[in-house]
Amino acid sequence: MASINLDREEYKKGADKLRKSLAINRRIGGKSREAINLFQLGLTAARMGRVEEGLHLVALSVSIVGAGNSSISSEIRPAIDVLISEAGYTEEQFDALCQDVAKTYKRDRGQSLIDTAFQDQNEDLEPEPN
């Protein structure tokens, strides 16, 4: 459902659905699905004009699945490269960002990064359960 909203450029609705999906995946313990949701949220934030915040969420998704994961290189690497370029980061800066956001994940599972990326719509959403 979120993909339909995103294809229609209904980013706020799509982000809302992705956040709900993320909450479900966190409850059931699906790390790979959690990483996918974070990646999609990052792309959505970037499409909404919050490129750097989106890159932080993408870096978080990369840190969850592991930077050396082959699926990152083959499937999503082109999107990551575009975001790195749009944000004005070097590859080395992105690698450092992945390490930095991993600390945020340990602290709050990246919730502060999500809140920052979608700060203008946070008041419209119900809080996520712990």
Tell me, yes or no, whether 125 lies in a domain: no
Q: Is residue 74 part of a domain?
A: yes
Q: How many domains does the chain have?
A: 1
Residue 10 lies in a domain: yes
Q: Is residue 124 part of a domain?
A: no
Query: Is there a domain that residue 127 lies in?
Result: no
- What is the dihedral sign for C-alpha 23, 27, 32, 35? positive
Structural domain for 90, as ranges? 2-119
Residue 47 lies in a domain: yes
| Percent of the residues in the chain that have a pLDDT greater than 70, as a whole number | 84
CA distances from 28 to 22, 38, 48, 128 (A): 10, 16, 29, 14
Is residue 98 one of the residues assigned to a domain? Answer: yes
The distance in angstroms from the start CA to the end CA of the chain is 24
pLDDT tens, position by position, 55-113 = 999 999 999 887 555 556 577 889 999 999 999 999 999 999 999 999 999 999 999 99
129 or 112, which is more confident? Answer: 112
Q: Does the residue 126 lie in any domain?
A: no
For CA atoms 5, 86, 40, 23, the dihedral sign is negative
Task: Write down the pLDDT at residue 51.
Answer: 96
pLDDT at 126: 44
